[in-house]
Amino acid sequence: MDTRKLRSLLFTSLLAAFASCGPAEQGEEQEASNSAVEFAPLEGTNWQLVQLVVTGGFVFTPEEPGKYVLNFRSENRLTGTSDCNRITGAWQQESTTLRFEPFSATRSLCEPGSLHNYLVLNLGAVVAHTFLDGHMIMTTTTEGVEIEFEPSK
């Protein structure tokens, strides 16, 4: 093989090696930042609603996320707000399992466009949760239903 071909082959091999190293490292960093965390203790944390995916794939996003807040208090006490209503109850967490028992909410009639009814109905059916990119994703007994929260400010 002549020197030119050998140099060209070596140069091409080096470029391929560098190209495969760069994106893989970036991909690994991105993968780490987008990773799911199975367990994080909820006690002492506060979360506000990001979106609610209901049966049929319909996605509801609150205009004011701060109106939909869950506060995970000590001794498994739950407090919060759901638009114009208050939430109270208890929460049980074990690994990825999450349940709200007992769970109740006041029944004030909120303004049109409120997500209160959707949220309360689905919170009562929560069975599991996971964390992804700092958000908490709750799932229910109904396939395809997800409630997404982010840390409350």
Q: Which residue has the higher pLDDT, 36 or 63?
A: 63
13 has pLDDT over 60: no
Is the same domain home to 145 and 76? yes
Is the same domain home to 64 and 10? no
149: number of Cβ within 10 Å: 23
The model's pLDDT over 107-152, given as tens digits with 9 standing for 90+, comes to 999 999 999 999 999 999 999 999 999 999 999 999 999 999 999 9
Is the same domain home to 52 and 25? no
Is the same domain home to 30 and 74? no
Q: What are phi and psi of 96, to 5 degrees?
A: -90, -5
pLDDT score recorded for residue 153: 77
The model's pLDDT over 56-111, given as tens digits with 9 standing for 90+, comes to 999 999 999 999 999 999 999 999 999 999 999 999 999 999 999 999 999 999 99
List of residues 6+ apart from 1 with CB closer than 8 A: 9
Instruction: Give the number of domains in the chain.
Output: 2
105: number of Cβ within 10 Å: 21
Is the same domain home to 76 and 140? yes
Q: What's the whole-model pTM score?
A: 0.76
Is the same domain home to 100 and 30? no
Is the same domain home to 25 and 78? no
pLDDT score recorded for residue 34: 58
| CATH number of the CATH domain containing 119 | 2.40.128.270
What is the residue range of 95's domain? 37-151
DSSP state of 54: -
Range name among 16-30, 33-47, 66-80, 104-118 with the lowest pLDDT average: 16-30
9 has pLDDT over 80: no
Is the same domain home to 68 and 130? yes
15 has pLDDT over 70: no
Is the same domain home to 48 and 123? yes
Per DSSP, the three-state class of 5 is helix
Is the same domain home to 147 and 111? yes
pLDDT score recorded for residue 29: 43
Can you read off the two tokens belonging to residue 135?
């958000």
DSSP 57-126: S-EE--SSGGGEEEEE-GGGEEEEEETTEEEEEEEEEETTEEEEEEEEE----PPTT--HHHHHHHHTTE
